[in-house]
Amino acid sequence: MNYSIITPTKNEGRFIEETIKSVIAQEQKPAEWFIMDDDSTDNTSEIVGRYSNDYTFIKYIKLSSFMNHLRNTGGRVAAIINYADLLRTIPVDLIVKADGDTSFGKDYFTRMIHEFMTEPRLGIASGHLVENGVPEKIKDRIGGRGASLIIRYSCFLQIGKFYESRTRGEDSLALVAARALGWKTWTFDYYFNHLKPEGIRKSTWENHFVTGCYKGSIPYWLPFFIGNAARDLARKPYFLGSLIQVYGYILSCYIHRERPFPEFVTRQFRHEQRSKFRIYIGL
């Protein structure tokens, strides 16, 4: 099995060299690696240039004024990955979405590829994220970490590629869509490093608002959303964060009535939420 990596990046000059070093050290290297520079203003291009001449599978693409109507990172990342897929010149079995602030052990992709070869119905998988030396706690193995997500290409096409919206959740929605169509999704204990904390690009307030809009545009099953909002009352910024999410949810779900995602994704999402809700309340 061969694979291509797509790395959407913006101003990751502090981290991307470590990402590059870990990829070129892989036992099985990618057929192509598209580093999609979303108009960075730091030294990203200089760093990538040090390696792209020696490693011809590295393709550096500089984007400028790319789809300016998609400002949020989730929908914008989805659009960048879908665009990069059109640039590929080598047929592949797997597409890897890898952030420009990740690093991997030299056998990481060899091990992940083995899992896809072993299970033909495995559609999407990820490794186990480590941050500051601490493995992330996994609550649900059928989920995945968007910082390093591997998708079987036939599954990628069947779900309609990544969903380009004005909200977030492109990773979660791809996983849900795959399961709705009968594919398996899984998180394996093959560790990769995330080099900076997630979610630091936007203020806490904007994160809550965008999260509410995202949940309203699917839309979340209402009792499940209320349960999530109630849980977040005890998290910073405490009461106000949940209120902002509720406002975003109402605005998206009932006023604008945004429905950017296929109906089969909504049905699957709500089915899984109802199952989780029954577990939460002890049924």
Mean pLDDT of 176-192: 97
Band the pLDDT of 202: cuts 50, 70, 90. low
- Candidate from 11-15, 17-21, 159-163, 279-283 with smallest mean pLDDT: 279-283
- Residue 161, sorted as left (phi over 0), alpha (psi -120 to 50) or beta, turns out to be left
Beta strands 184-194; 122-131: pairing state:
parallel
| Of residues 235, 211, 193, the one with CA closest to residue 99 | 193
Look at residue 6 and give its three-state secondary structure. Answer: strand
Q: Which domains does the chain have, with CATH numbers?
A: 3-194 (3.90.550.10), 204-280 (no CATH)
pLDDT tens digits, residue range 6-16? 999 999 999 99
3-state secondary structure of 237: coil
- How sure is the predictor about 176, in pLDDT bands with cuts at 50, 70 and 90? very high
CA distance 43 to 230: 43
pLDDT, position 200? 45
pLDDT above 90: percentage of residues in the chain: 77
pTM of the model: 0.92
Give the integer Cα–Cα distance in Å for 220 and 33: 35
C-alpha closest to that of 184 among 172, 175, 193: 175
Q: What percentage of the chain has pLDDT greater than the value 70?
A: 96
Q: Is the dihedral of CA 273, 276, 282, 283 positive or negative?
A: positive
3-state helix, strand, coil in the chain (%, to 5): 45, 20, 35
* Strand ranges for the chain from DSSP E: 3-9, 32-38, 58-63, 94-98, 102-104, 122-131, 134-135, 148-152, 184-194
pLDDT (tens digit, 9 = 90+) per residue, 50-71?
Answer: 999 999 999 999 998 888 887 7
Q: How confident is the model at residue 117 (pLDDT cuts 50, 70, 90)?
A: very high
Does position 238 have pLDDT exceeding 90, yes or no?
Answer: no
